[in-house]
C-alpha cells in the first residue's frame, strides 16, 4: 500500500496548479494530508472563487473551479474520503512528526514567506513543520514557487532549499509539447510534480516521444 502524500497550499499566485494536482492525485487513489495557510485560502478565493475552510477541504468545489481553465473532468464524491485536512496551526497533526510515514510532500504554490520559513527552520506553522520533517527524514519535498522577478534574498533561499534536499520546481511551463490551451500549460507543471513523486501520468507529451499520450483525467 502506498504511503500518504502531503500537499500544502500557501499564498503564492497559482492556485490552479494546486487544484489540478489534487484532482490528479485523487484520481490516482492517493491518500492525501492537506494543509492550507490563511494566505493560501485568500489566493484560492481570489483566483478560483472558492471559499475553503482551514479544517476541511471542499474537494468538489475546488476541482469544479478547473472548468474555467478548460479542465472539465471532476473528482467524485468518494474522493473526499481520501483527504485528511489539517489546520495550519495544528502541531499535533500526524504530519508534524517524522514517525508518521509519508511518500513525500508538495508545497504548491509555495510563497516566498513559506520558502523563508522552511529554509530557516522556523516551524511557525504546520506547513513549515511538515516540510522540516520531510527534510530531516530525507523524504521527497517539492517546492513550487511562482514569483517574478526574484530578489537576491529569494534566490538565496531557493539555493538553501535545494542544498537542504528539497526539489525546487518553479511553476515555469514549457512550450515544446504542443501547447494548444491554458490547460496544457497547467498540466505541464503538474506533470513535472508527479514525476518527482514517481506517479505515472499522461498529462503531456515527453520530449523525444513520437507518441501523443492519451488525455489524462
DSSP code of residue 4: P
Q: What is the pLDDT of residue 72?
A: 77
Q: Is 217 within the bounds of a domain? A: no
Q: Is 133 within the bounds of a domain? A: yes
Q: How many residues does the structure list for the chain?
A: 217
The whole-number average pLDDT for the span 49-67 is 92
Q: Is 212 within the bounds of a domain? A: no
Q: What is the pLDDT of residue 211?
A: 55
How many C-beta atoms lie closer than 10 Å to residue 25's C-beta?
26
Summarize pLDDT for 161-200 with one digit per residue, the tens: 999 999 999 999 999 888 999 999 999 999 999 999 999 9
Residue 84: which domain range? 5-196
Q: Is 204 within the bounds of a domain? A: no
Instruction: Record the cell numbers describing residue 200, joined without a space.
Output: 505515472
Distances (CA, A) of 12 to 19, 51, 177, 208: 13, 16, 26, 33
pLDDT bin (cut points 50, 70, 90) of residue 74 is low
Using N-to-C axis directions, what is the helix angle for 126-136 and 112-119, rounded to 10°? Answer: 50
Distance CA(61)–CA(51), nearest Å, equals 9
Supply the pTM of this predicted model. Answer: 0.93
Would the pLDDT of 76 be above 90? Answer: no
Q: Is 35 within the bounds of a domain? A: yes
How many C-beta atoms lie closer than 10 Å to residue 1's C-beta?
4
Domain count, the chain: 1
Q: Is 205 within the bounds of a domain? A: no
Q: Is 211 within the bounds of a domain? A: no
In CATH, what number is assigned to the domain containing residue 146?
3.40.50.1950
The whole-number average pLDDT for the span 38-62 is 94
Q: Is 57 within the bounds of a domain? A: yes
Q: What is the pLDDT of residue 210?
A: 62
Amino acid at each position: 500500500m502506498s504511503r500518504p502524500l502531503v500537499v500544502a497550499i500557501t499564498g503564492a499566485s497559482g492556485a490552479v496548479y494546486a487544484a489540478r494536482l489534487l484532482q490528479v492525485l485523487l484520481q490516482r487513489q492517493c491518500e492525501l494530508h492537506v494543509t492550507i495557510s490563511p494566505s493560501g485560502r485568500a489566493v484560492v478565493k481570489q483566483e478560483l472563487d472558492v471559499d475553503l475552510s482551514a479544517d476541511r477541504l471542499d474537494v468538489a468545489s475546488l476541482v469544479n473551479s478547473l472548468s474555467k481553465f478548460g479542465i472539465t473532468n471532476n473528482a467524485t464524491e468518494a474522493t473526499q474520503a481520501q483527504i485528511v485536512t489539517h489546520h495550519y496551526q495544528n502541531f499535533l497533526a500526524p504530519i508534524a512528526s517524522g514517525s508518521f510515514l509519508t511518500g513525500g510532500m508538495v508545497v504548491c504554490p509555495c510563497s516566498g514567506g513559506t520558502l523563508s520559513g522552511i529554509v530557516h527552520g522556523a516551524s511557525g506553522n504546520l506547513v513549515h513543520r511538515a516540510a522540516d520533517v520531510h527534510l530531516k527524514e530525507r523524504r521527497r519535498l517539492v517546492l513550487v514557487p511562482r514569483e517574478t522577478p526574484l530578489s537576491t534574498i529569494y534566490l538565496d533561499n531557493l539555493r538553501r532549499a535545494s542544498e537542504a534536499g528539497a526539489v525546487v520546481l518553479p511553476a515555469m511551463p514549457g512550450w515544446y509539447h504542443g501547447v494548444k490551451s491554458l490547460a496544457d500549460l497547467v498540466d505541464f507543471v503538474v506533470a513535472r510534480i508527479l514525476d518527482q513523486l514517481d506517479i505515472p501520468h499522461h498529462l503531456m507529451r515527453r520530449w523525444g516521444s513520437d507518441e501523443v499520450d492519451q488525455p489524462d483525467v
